[in-house]
Amino acid sequence: MLASDDERLWGAVQRRDQSADGSFVYAVRSTGVYCRPSCPSRPARRENVTFYADADAAEKAGFRPCKRCHPNENPDDRTAEAIRQACQWIETAEDQPDLGTLARSAGYSPWHFQRLFKAYVGLSPKQYAIACRKVRLRQALPDAGSVTDAIYAAGFGASSRAYEDKGALGMTPSSYRNGAEGETIRYASAESSLGPVLVAATERGVCMIEFGEPEQLVQVLAQRFPTACIVPVNRDLAALVERVVQLIDEPSAGCDLPLDIRGTAFQERVWKALTLIPAGETLSYAELAELIGRPSATRAVARACASNSIAVAVPCHRVVCSSGKLSGYKWGVERKEALLSREGTKPARNRR
């Protein structure tokens, strides 16, 4: 039992101070339960509270762990598991749980859970639910009996909501079902210091930056959007292409391009995390998997990086092997090495 500095410890309990978690636990004699300082349960009366150095000491004194804050578990492990379960719930639920419901299930306050979820996933619970709904809509549209059937199957409460939310697909659901019919995608090519590059953009922003022969890349673009109107417009895209070329020449300057990123919920989590890696630094695929809260998904993270179609602006070149050495790059390891060199990235070293 801790007898010294009780008032400081009690103050941490009253504030639900998360930074104090792991430094002590408090037990409530009236309930026989012990908790971590940040426990969201109703505050106990001061005269019923005793402080202990750790969970073992509290259990030896006859107290049992709280079922809300799980003070006998490692906080990091418990948080990762809570976020994983919340993601699974969001992905599979017919009626999406709200923030309060998710937070109560995880044993956190709504504000704290929102902060933890965004730190692990890179999106808020609401944003993640929207991304999952988008994926379900994309998957349902090709084979559904009608566009309306696909909309409701994806979790939209009304067909009007799906048509209003063009961000879900980058176009209306009917256009997506018809292979982006009616959407105009403009493209232009240019020479850069790393070879020819093709830039394509929708009304929302850049949807492709790829190195390679323009004729082949135009075919890739057409295959991705088979009934869209693919238009070569070198003059209209001149300013945008110039910004892309400047970004390739000086990737450390940062990217302020408008982007139209389209992928699965998992891919978008990975791509968003990539944009958070500062120029001059790298992560391994395992570290990137940990960053998005999916430490066992290293291979899936590598596949998402390989599927990126917006070179440099979504900087998948900043992901390397666990040893620190360069690994495969969609547009060639030589280009990856050149980009990292321009960013002043430190030489490869053993990361683990």
Residues 266-306 have pLDDT tens digits of: 888 899 899 989 888 999 999 999 888 888 888 889 989 99
Active site residue 255: no
E strand segments, the chain: 25-28, 33-35, 49-52, 64-65, 184-192, 195-201, 206-211, 229-232, 283-284, 319-320
Active site residue 321: no
Evaluate whether 299 touches 328 at the Cβ level (below 8 Å): no
- Higher pLDDT, residue 204 or 122: 204
pLDDT at 3: 54
DSSP string, 38-89: T--SPPPPGGGEEEESSHHHHHHTT-EE-TTT-TTS-HHHHHHHHHHHHHHH
- Give the whole-number percent of the chain exceeding pLDDT 70: 81
Of 66, 69, 316, 321, the catalytic one is: 316
How far is CA 12 from each of CA 17, 42, 171, 265, 327, rounded to the nearest angstrom? 5, 15, 50, 38, 47
57-82 per-position pLDDT tens digit: 999 999 999 988 888 877 667 777 78
- Higher pLDDT, residue 195 or 6: 195
Q: Give the mean model confidence (pLDDT) for residues 33-55.
A: 90
Q: Which domains does the chain have, with CATH numbers?
A: 6-65 (3.40.10.10), 75-122 (1.10.10), 130-177 (no CATH), 184-246 (3.30.160.70), 265-342 (1.10.10.10)
150-191 per-position pLDDT tens digit: 444 444 544 444 444 444 445 454 555 445 555 789 999 999
pLDDT at 72: 86
Of 35, 39, 66, 132, the catalytic one is: 35
Q: Give the mean model confidence (pLDDT) for residues 211-230.
A: 86
pLDDT at 136: 64
Sheet of strand 184-192: strand arrangement: 206-211, 195-201, 184-192, 229-232
- Higher pLDDT, residue 173 or 314: 314
Name the one residue in this structure whose structure tokens are 């009690």. 10
pLDDT at 152: 42
pLDDT at 351 over 50: no
pLDDT at 178: 47
On average, the pLDDT of the chain sits at 81
- Give the whole-number percent of the chain exceeding pLDDT 90: 34
- Higher pLDDT, residue 98 or 2: 98
pLDDT at 155: 47
pLDDT at 216: 92
116-150 per-position pLDDT tens digit: 888 777 678 888 887 777 666 665 555 444 544 44
Cα(171)–Cα(274) distance, integer angstroms: 25
